[in-house]
Amino acid sequence: MLRSFTNLALGVSVLSALGTLAIAPTASAFTFNGSGIEIGTKDAGTSFKVNFDGNVSTKNVIGLSSEAIFKFLGFTTVGSKTEAAFEITLDNTSSDGITSRTSALGFNVNQTLVGVGGASGSGNTRSSGIFTNDMSGSFPNQFGAVDVCFTSGNTCQGGKNGGVKTADSPGKFSSTLAFSGNVQSFTLSNFGVRYQSIDGNGFKGDSGTGRGIPVQPEPPKPPTKHVPEPSSTAALVVLGAGLLYGRKKRSELA
């Protein structure tokens, strides 16, 4: 009798385990602090988005907008320096009769960058893709200074014809931030973009700027229970019953 009860308990335990299996939630990446975002070693391979508004002559322009997705690729040690690499996808999302060109993207960094505006080799801040120049300077329209901007022009003010237009597909560029020493975390803030070739709704070839707000990812969803298929449950019940029946018959013949 004791063995029969043990077999039954084992079968119930198996069914219980199958009915309560859950998928562990994915941990949230990055640390959001107001308009800034802290990035560390744990965030390698994850992404965050920044939404940009738009203004001309310090006045907000409805429909003038951009979006950037930052994918952090991780840290690399280069001699006595540390590099932090990103793949950035930039999209000009202007709408409501407005078209424009996003010709530069910049931000502040809470640690001193190495090589901004200078040599672009290993161990220095650099960029490649739709933006090939890294500069320090300011965005106009009273936006103010940024620690680094990426552009195809010679200043953060823009210039030339580089960047992403409203009709274009999203463009990508690789940006590498270089620091002195061993760096395992840093904070980005004061995100901004430069607009040029603004047309529509009374604008004709105007220029402007936009401020960016990092978008915090949605929290992970709670785990969901895995319910076994009816056929699997029935098979286990039949198996348990068979074991009990076999045990009973052997007891009668003994």
CB distance 120 to 126 below 8 Å: yes
In order of 12, 14, 193, 251, the CA distances from 225 in angstroms are: 17, 15, 45, 39
Q: What is the pLDDT of residues 42-96, one digit of tens each?
A: 999 999 999 999 999 999 999 999 999 999 999 999 999 999 999 999 999 999 9
Banded pLDDT at 254 (limits 50, 70, 90) = low
Q: What is the pLDDT of residues 122-143, one digit of tens each?
A: 999 999 999 999 999 999 999 9
11 has a pLDDT exceeding 50: no
Banded pLDDT at 216 (limits 50, 70, 90) = confident
Banded pLDDT at 9 (limits 50, 70, 90) = very low
155 DSSP 8-state letter? B
Average pLDDT over residues 204-219: 90
Q: Which ranges in the chain belong to alpha helices (H)?
A: 2-20, 230-253
Q: What is the pLDDT of residues 41-55, one digit of tens each?
A: 999 999 999 999 999
